[in-house]
Every structure is written in C-alpha cells, then in structure tokens.
Amino acid sequence: MLATARVSATATRTCPVSQNAALDLNSPAGCPHVNGFKVDNWKQNLRVIYQCFVWSGSAETRKRKAKSCICHMCGAHLNRLHSCLYCVFFACFAKKHIHEHAKSKRHNLAIDLLYGGIYCFMCQDYIYDKEMEQIAKEEQRKAWKMLHGFVCLCKCVPGIGEKYSTWEPTKRELELLRHNPKRRRITSNCTIGLRGLINLGNTCFMNCIVQALTHTPLLRDFFLSDRHKCEMQSNSCLVCEMSQLFQEFYSGHRSPHIPFRLLHLVWTHARHLAGYEQQDAHEFLIAALDVLHRHCKDDNGKKANNPNHCNCIIDQIFTGGLQSDVTCQACHGVSTTIDPFWDISLDLPGSSTPFWPLSPGGDGSALNGESHTTGATTLTDCLRRFTRPEHLGSSAKIKCSGCHSYQESTKQLTMKKLPIVACFHLKRFEHSAKLRRKITTYVSFPLELDMTPFMASSKESRMNGQYQQTVDPFNNDNKYSLFAVVNHQGTLESGHYTTFIRQHKDQWFKCDDAIITKASIKDVLDSEGYLLFYHKQFLEYE
C-alpha cells in the first residue's frame, strides 16, 4: 500500500526556525470541518477505527482487517484504502472511489488505513487536529505493546502502520538556538535563496537554467535535506556539485557565486556544450537533466538508465507521459503509444511551420485567464495547436494493424501523465536549410495554468460526449503555478539570457548573471518568454 500526503506545492520551508517558532509548532491552526464530526461518542468511535482497521495490534484484529478492508466499489485491497469516519465504508483513494462517496454522502472526513492520517475533502488535504492526533498516538502505542510488550521507537512493525514522529527540538537544540546570533528567519523581505552567478564567458545560458533549477521547490527540498547518496567519485558527479550549489544558494551569503566547478563538469559530461561559444539555454537544460538523471540512483541503488522505469528525483519531478494516437482513415483503428518527456516544445506564429488559425477564447484560453483583447497569441493557443489532430497526408502512410494495409492517418498528441514541473519551450530559434532567425512573436502566458483540456482523459470524454469545460474550484489535480521564466534578448548571433524567478509566494526577481533585482508581476508577464516553468499547485506523494 502506498501512503501519500497532499500538500501545497508553492509552500516555502522555514528552516532553521527560531526558538519561539519551534515552540509554536505544537499548536498549528486546525481544520475547521472537524467540528461536525466531534459529536456524541466521537472519541470512542475513532478509537475503535484505529484499533480495528489501522494499527491492529492483535492477530485477531489483523485478520479482521485483512478480510474486511476492501474497496466497497471495486473490491481492491490496495490503492490506498481509506475509511469514511461517518459510516462503515472503505474505498480507494488512488482511484478516487472514496472521493465519490464523500461527495454523494457529504461525509467530509476519511482516515488512511495504513498511516492513520485523516483527510478532509473540503480542505483537500490531510489535516492536523490535536485531540485526534493524541488518540492516534495512544492507540498506536497500545498496538506496539500488544505485539512486543514495549514501545518500539526505531522500527516499523508490519501490520500496524509505519512509525513516524513529528519533529520537536531537543534541549540541546533549544540551547543552540538561544545562543546562535546568526539564526535567520523567513520574512516577507528575506533574501535567502537569492544569489547572483558570475558569467565565466558567454555562460549566461547556464546561469539562467541554474537559477530556475535552484528555485524548483521539490528539487530544493531534495538537495537541502541531503538525500543524494553518491557512489561515484565526488569530483566527477554532477549531482554532488548541484547539491553543493544548493547549499551555497541557501547559505545566506549575498556575494555572487562563481560556478566554475559546475561549468567544468558540464563540459566533461556534455562535450557538445564545451567551449566559450554562445549556447542554447534549452539545450543546456535538457543536457543537465540528462546528466543528473544518469548520475542519480533509484531506490534499489542501481543506475537509472531507463527513463520509463526510473525513480530518481529528476524523473519524479520533470518526467511526464505524452500520448500519441494515430487513427487510420480507412477503418478508424487507433494505435496508441506513450513516451516520456521532460519538456514540451511549442511552435509559434511567424515560423515556417504553418500556425493553425485559432478562434479567440475557445478550448481553455478563458479558463487559464489569458486575454485575446490585444490579439496576442497565448500559451493556451500554442497548447491547443500542439494537441490538435494532424493529418499526416499521402506521403506518410502507415500500415494499419486493423485493415493490414498502408493508409492515410491522423495523429494527435495529448498528455497522459503530467509532470510535477511542466517546462514549456517556445521555439524562438528557427534553423533550416534556407534561413536561421529568431522569432520574436509575443506569447501571453498566465500565472496559473489548467492543463485539463489537454489531457488524454479530456479527449476521451469529448469523444464520448461527456466533456464539459467548466471551472471546478475543488479539482486542482491539473493546475499549475508559474515560478520561473527564462528570456532571451538580442539576435540569434548575439544575445543574452536572463531569468525571472519567484521567491516565496508572490515576490519576483530578475536574475541577470551576478545582478539580482526585484521585478513586478507585470515585468514577468510582459516579457518575451523562451522557457516557462510551471509547478503543480497540489501534489500527491507516493
């Protein structure tokens, strides 16, 4: 069974904390919807659920749990079973069967049967309640004692959930906090994480990508928590160097950093980028992700060479699944393939590739808050073009597996699986046998983006006549927030890269090599845009 926690992807960690902040961790604001559950004998009812269906300390209760805890909709034992707190109903969380029950019955609280976390369907999050947490701890201790006669503080006990403990400062840690005059707090004007990078000779293409990566929330959390366990020579591992780079960025130092070791490793592992000539920032991004991916390890300690079956941090964050449906025009048979991707390259109006005319306001542009009043092309326009069916023509006939003959066909791309970080590459540099030029067409992009209209599931719903494009405030699964924009100024032969990055929630800064200046949201949205980085607003950790 997998345990997941649904959290806001835009939250910023506040570490290290002050003494007062640490002491206040024990009394966070709770969920306002639990009061509806706290009636009559709610404590006793909750204890029974923990005893029988979560921790299961005795052999009898474990047998009962194994026999009775199945999804009442599909009969599955796995898929993260949750139990409704209001009635005897077990259902899958992963397949959203428990969501359907909660919506139809208006039962807003459910409990994870593996880890004991309580989920609120109104808050769309796992919640904390002091009284419920105390009951959970007491029942877990009872289960441990029934199994071993003592409380195990160091190991997971099969059948009674995984041990976890909230962080509380020790006396020694409190003493260090009291006597440490350099401790830092995250405030509205905090500059921790902001640091310029020295240009080492036409290396702005590298600096702009480094700024985007160091402000990617999950990547930041991974490297700042020392998750990388290196088995390579430390002086040749790009992941080790990135880890050191994150430490430098979030150390609080304000002087510009000189990334000479990073540049050397890039030249070593991506030789096509070696030298002091101007390079493409998009090409560097893909090369950097590729090398980081190859240097990372999966959970089994093996090298992650297959992007389709890899659990490294790069694939967890950046890899999505692109579905390609090729439809035979004769028998209408469909051949489907799904390929991994790290970014999506989008054609622009003004390129030699015909840009299909799109009607203003249709198929999601209004949903994503983009305006056509000025006649500007929007990011949604580009995505609609990217996911439209394309007739392959008579010169590209395929052999249909259905009618066993070469036939004309149409091809359509949609998103089967969305990545945590979606990177959109606007194809501004055109290279062909006849011309080499930069496309300066302005593309409007939103602060918040809903990818639902471009999902494979939306296409299937439209084909079945069930798809309705409505704004659902409770469905945040496919919604993204902008957190970085890479721009290119100048021409194809002579240009310069800069990056806008989001610090905390709504503060934006412009990173121009060693110079960091504050920017407005208007500055960001009015920029030309070359690489756009969006982060999922809500995540489900598996």
Tens-place pLDDT, residues 234-266 = 677 888 888 889 988 888 788 899 998 888 888
- Show the tokens assigned to 128: 């904390």
Which residues is 450 bridged to in the sheet?
479
Total domain count for the chain?
Answer: 2
> What is the average pLDDT across 275-291?
84
Which of 57-71, 331-345, 375-389, 430-444 has the least mean pLDDT? Answer: 57-71
Residues 132, 213, single domain; the answer is no
- In the predicted model, what is the mean pLDDT of residues 442-449? 93
* Reported pTM: 0.68
The separation between the first and the last C-alpha atoms of the chain, rounded to the nearest angstrom, is 10
Each as own residue / partner, the long-range contacts of residues 14-21 (CB below 8 Å, 24 or more positions apart, any chain) are: 14/185, 14/186, 16/177, 16/183, 16/184, 17/177, 17/185, 18/177, 18/183, 18/185, 19/169, 19/174, 19/177, 19/178, 21/185
- As annotated, the active-site residues are 204, 496
Helices and strands of the chain, counted as H and E runs: 15, 25
214 shares a domain with 143: no
Residue 445 burial (CB < 10 Å; 0-12/13-18/19+)? buried
Strands (E), 128-248: none
Identify the pLDDT of residue 172.
87
Q: Does residue 135 sit in the same domain as residue 49? A: yes
In a domain, 140, yes or no: yes
Q: CA 39 from chain center: how many Å?
A: 38
Do 40 and 116 lie in a common domain?
yes
Task: Take residue 376 and report the two structure tokens written for it.
Answer: 């500007």
279 and 214, same domain (yes or no): yes
Residues 51 and 123 in one domain: yes
DSSP string across 248-315: HHTT---SPB--HHHHHHHHHH-GGG-SSS---HHHHHHHHHHHHHHH-B-TTS-B---GGG--SHHH
> From the centroid of its chain, how far is CA 539?
6
Percent helix / strand / coil, the chain, rounded to 5: 30, 20, 45
CA-CA distance, 435 to 321, in Å (whole number)? 33
Query: Residue 70 — pLDDT band, cuts 50, 70, 90?
Result: confident
Instruction: Indicate the helix (H) or strand (E) that contains 129.
Output: none
Q: Is residue 481 part of a domain?
A: no
Domain end, chosen from 148, 167, 194, is at 148
Q: Which of 133, 148, 163 is the last residue of a domain?
A: 148
How does DSSP classify residue 97? H
- Write phi, then psi, for 252 (nearest 5 degrees): 95, -5
- Written as six digits, the tokens of 94 are 């992963």
* Number of other CB atoms surrounding residue 15 within 10 Å: 13
How many Cβ atoms from other residues are within 10 Å of residue 304's Cβ?
20
Asked if 163 and 221 touch (Cβ cutoff 8 Å), the reply is no
Alpha helices in 57-200 (DSSP H): 59-68, 97-105, 130-148, 171-178
Predicted local distance difference test score (pLDDT) of residue 110: 93
Instruction: Report whether 327 contacts 333 (CB < 8 A).
Output: yes
Q: Is residue 287 part of a domain?
A: yes
Range with the lowest mean pLDDT among 86-95, 343-352, 371-380, 485-494?
Answer: 371-380
Task: Give me the pLDDT at residue 212, please.
Answer: 95
CB 141 within 8 A of CB 149: no
Whether residue 486 is contained in a domain is answered as no
Confirm if 12 and 186 have CB atoms less than 8 A apart.
Answer: yes
Rounded to 5 degrees, what are φ and ψ at 5? -130, 125
Give the model's pLDDT for residue 156.
44
Which is higher by pLDDT, 156 or 488?
488
| 508/502 Cα distance (integer angstroms) | 5
Question: pLDDT tens-digit profile of 309-321?
Answer: 678 889 999 999 9
pLDDT tens digits, one per residue of 97-154: 999 999 999 999 999 988 888 999 988 888 888 888 888 888 888 887 776 554 444 4
Cis peptide before 16 (omega within 30 of 0): yes
The lowest-confidence range among 234-238, 340-344, 465-469, 485-489 is 465-469
Query: Comparing C-alpha atoms, which of 134, 131, 94, 88 is closest to residue 114?
Result: 94
* Domain CATH number, residue 110: 3.30.40.10
Asked whether residue 115 falls in the same domain as residue 213, the answer is: no
Q: Is residue 22 part of a domain?
A: no
Plot region of 96 (φ>0 → left; ψ -120 to 50 → alpha; else → beta): left
Residue 488 lies in a domain: no
Q: What angle do CA 532, 538, 540 make, to 5 degrees?
A: 120
The answer as to whether 209 is a domain residue is yes
> Within 13 A of 316's CA, how many CA atoms are on the CB side?
16
Question: Are the beta carbons of 80 and 74 closer than 8 angstroms?
Answer: no
224 closest CA partner among 199, 260, 248, 205:
248
| Residue ranges in 350-506 assigned as alpha helix (H) | 379-386, 456-463
**447 or 327: whose pLDDT is higher?**
447
Where does the pLDDT of residue 166 fall: very low under 50, low under 70, confident under 90, or very high at 90 and above? low
319: in domain:
no
What's the Cα-to-Cα distance from 211 to each of 36, 287, 516, rounded to whole Å? 46, 16, 11
Single residue among 275, 296, 317 that ends a domain in this structure: 296
Q: Same domain, yes or no, for 39 and 142?
A: yes
Residue type, position 459, single letter:
K
Dihedrals phi, psi of 391, to nearest 5 degrees: -80, 120
Give the model's pLDDT for residue 37: 87
> By residue range, what is the domain housing residue 264?
203-296
pLDDT score for 18: 34
Are 406 and 399 spatial neighbours (Cβ–Cβ below 8 Å)? yes
Give the Å distances, CA to CA, from 192 to 187, 196, 209, 503, 524.
Answer: 10, 12, 19, 9, 21
Q: Would you state the pLDDT for residue 429?
A: 87
Return the closest-CA partner of residue 285 out of 238, 325, 342.
Answer: 342
Tokens 């970085």: give the residue: 484
Residue 56: which pLDDT band, with cuts at 50, 70 and 90? confident
